[in-house]
């Protein structure tokens, strides 16, 4: 078991509760789960790395438990109960130096510190879709969702958000204006996931129809589409160093595309519907190398509500965090005041 888990470079969580590891060098997929407790309420909805060396995977399940899986040993090492099913599914898990941050749909953001039973709780508002952690300043967390504007929280001062946004677009929190910089639209169907490749000028989005597109951030144009997916895209992750994109979805396939020529590099059939994908940051082809990445579950959008999925990226050279969002929503009066817009006929 241990040697199998050490060779896996891509980790996926499925709806049946099975953690799957895929080794691209050996072209095989492995299931890691304890067969006795496999049930639908253990459906995996969030995945993240437990530490910077990427030796542990934290798995968040629907029933509120967070399991730790060690990639070196190949077994689940511990389980923690961080909430129950009444609060909703996990929309984000993140780890700082000694504590675990979890956020659920009902808006409860909790920080669990090891060793002490106390938890610091913040209520970020209802109906949270996503929570992401700033990779450079790990004590800052951004949350957003339906009717819940983008907020950035500093965990050391848990009372009030640092920044609150009214609508969701490409934001640059370091500029004095609170206006979005760019709005981009793609397709007619709701966008489910976003991923940022290493170049900082492009963003990759996936929608419920199985279309994955690369959008250019300077103008908001579609650079190209990836072919092959037949189901809703549930997870997207870009590799930090090599130009690869991993995607998983409801059609039960993991696909790795090359970002430059948009061709499919690998395609693996995994028998359950997939929810999230985690890449390790080492080179995917080598045995035991991984890329860190996380794609989380997505909720559907109703009329008049804001679609939100976000990631934070820090640019080298300039200490800025740019929060980017690409979305699909109804035109409101506020949008007419924005600088760059493109109107499309909506259904």
Partner 1 sequence: KLLEEAEEKGPESESAETSSSTRPALPPTFSLSEIKNKQRRQLMFMKLKQEKRKQKLELRKKRRKEREALGDKAPPKEVPKTIENQRVYDETTVDPEDEEVAYDEGTDEFSAYFNKLINPKVLITTSDRPRGRTVRFCEQLATVIPNAHVYYRRGLALKRVIPQCISRDFTYLMVINEDRKVPNGMILCHLPDGPTAHFKVSSVRLRKEMKRRGKDPTEHYPEVILNNFTTRLGHSIGRLFAALFPHDPQFQGRQVATFHNQRDFIFFRFHRYIFRNEKKVGIQELGPRFTLKLRSLQKGTFDSKFGEYEWVHKRHEMDSNRRKFHL
Residue 347 found at the interface with partner 1 (CB under 8 A) = yes
Nearer Cβ to partner 1, position 227 or 342? 227
* Contact stretch for partner 1 (CB under 8 A) within 52-60, 73-81, 149-157, 247-255: 247-255
Q: How far is the CB of 269 from partner 1 (least distance, A)?
A: 5
By beta-carbon proximity to partner 1, the closer residue of 58 and 274 is 274
Candidates 84, 121, 201, 302; binder of partner 1 (CB under 8 A) is: 302
Other CB atoms closer than 10 Å to residue 227's CB: what's the count? 13
Residue closer to partner 1 by CB (options 271, 340) is 271
CB of 227 to partner 1, least distance (A): 5
Nearest-CA neighbor of 139 among 116, 123, 118, 162? 162
By the rule CB under 8 A, 27 interacts with partner 1:
no
Q: Check residue 129 and give left, alpha or beta (phi > 0: left; psi -120 to 50: alpha).
A: alpha
- Torsion angles phi and psi, residue 35, rounded to 5: -65, -20
The single-letter DSSP state of residue 171 is B
Q: Long-range contacts for 21-25 (Cβ within 8 Å, ≥24 apart)?
A: 22/254, 22/268, 22/270, 23/287, 24/256, 24/266, 24/284, 24/285, 25/285, 25/286, 25/287
Name the residue among 249, 229, 344 with its Cα closest to residue 295. Answer: 249
| 16 scored as a contact of partner 1 (CB under 8 A) | yes
Q: How far is the CB of 337 from partner 1 (least distance, A)?
A: 27
Shortest Å, Cβ 331 to partner 1: 16
Both tokens assigned to 202: 């492009």
Would you give the binding string for partner 1 spanning residues 256-275, x where CB under 8 A is met? -------------x-xxx--
**Residue 68 touches partner 1, criterion: CB under 8 A:** no
Per-position x/- string for 204-233, each x denoting binding to partner 1 as judged by CB under 8 A, each - no binding: ----xxx----------------xx-xxx-
Q: Report the C-alpha gap between 192 and 36 in whole angstroms.
A: 32
Counting contacts by CB under 8 A, is residue 48 touching partner 1? no
Choose the stretch contacting partner 1; rule: CB under 8 A; options: 66-74, 136-144, 274-282, 297-305: 297-305
Q: Is 234 helix (H, G, I), strand (E, B) or coil?
A: strand
Contacting residues for 160 by C-beta, under 8 A, at least 6 apart: none
Distance CA 119, CA 109 (A): 10
Binding residue (CB under 8 A) for partner 1 from 135, 149, 190, 243: 190
Residue 124 CB, shortest distance to partner 1, in Å, is 23
Residues in contact with partner 1, counted by CB under 8 A, come to a total of 28
Write down the least CB distance from residue 86 to partner 1, Å.
18
Closer residue to partner 1 (CB): 54 or 327: 327
95/49 Cα distance (integer angstroms): 8
58: CB partners within 8 A, 6+ apart = 46, 47, 48, 49, 50, 66, 67, 68, 69, 93, 95, 100
Nearer to partner 1, 111 or 256 (CB): 256
- Enumerate binding residues for partner 1 (CB under 8 A): 16, 18, 31, 38-40, 189-190, 192, 208-210, 227-228, 230-232, 250-252, 269, 271-273, 300-302, 347
């Amino acid at each position: 078991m241990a040697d199998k888990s050490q060779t896996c470079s891509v980790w996926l969580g499925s709806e049946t509760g099975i953690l799957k590891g895929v080794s691209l060098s050996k072209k095989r997929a492995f299931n890691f789960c304890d067969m006795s407790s496999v049930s639908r309420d253990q459906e995996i909805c969030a995945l993240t790395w437990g530490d910077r060396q990427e030796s542990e995977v934290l798995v968040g399940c629907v029933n509120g438990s967070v399991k730790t899986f060690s990639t070196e040993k190949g077994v689940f090492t511990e389980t923690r109960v961080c909430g129950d099913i009444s609060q909703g599914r996990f929309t984000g898990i993140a780890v700082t130096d000694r504590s675990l941050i979890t956020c659920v749909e009902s808006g409860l953001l909790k920080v669990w510190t090891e060793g002490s039973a106390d938890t610091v709780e913040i209520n970020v508002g209802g109906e949270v879709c996503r929570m992401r952690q700033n990779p450079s300043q790990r004590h800052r967390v951004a949350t957003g969702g339906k009717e819940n504007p983008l907020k950035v929280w500093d965990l050391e001062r848990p009372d009030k958000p640092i920044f609150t946004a009214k609508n969701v677009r490409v934001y640059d929190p370091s500029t004095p204006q609170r206006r979005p910089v760019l709005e981009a639209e793609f397709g007619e169907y709701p966008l489910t996931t976003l991923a940022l490749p290493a170049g900082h000028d492009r963003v990759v989005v996936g929608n419920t129809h199985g279309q994955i597109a690369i959008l250019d951030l300077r103008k908001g144009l579609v650079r190209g589409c990836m072919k092959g997916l037949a189901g809703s895209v549930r997870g997207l992750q870009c590799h930090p160093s090599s130009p690869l994109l991993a995607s998983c979805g409801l059609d039960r396939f993991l696909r790795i595309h090359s970002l430059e020529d948009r061709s499919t590099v690998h395609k693996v059939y995994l028998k359950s519907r997939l929810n999230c994908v985690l890449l390790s940051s080492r080179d995917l082809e080598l045995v035991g190398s991984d890329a860190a990445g996380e794609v989380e579950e997505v909720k559907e959008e109703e009329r008049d509500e804001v679609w939100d999925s976000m990631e934070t990226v820090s640019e080298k050279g300039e200490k800025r965090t740019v929060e980017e969002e690409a979305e699909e929503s109804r035109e409101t009066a506020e949008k007419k005041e924005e600088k760059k817009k493109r109107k499309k006929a909506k259904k």
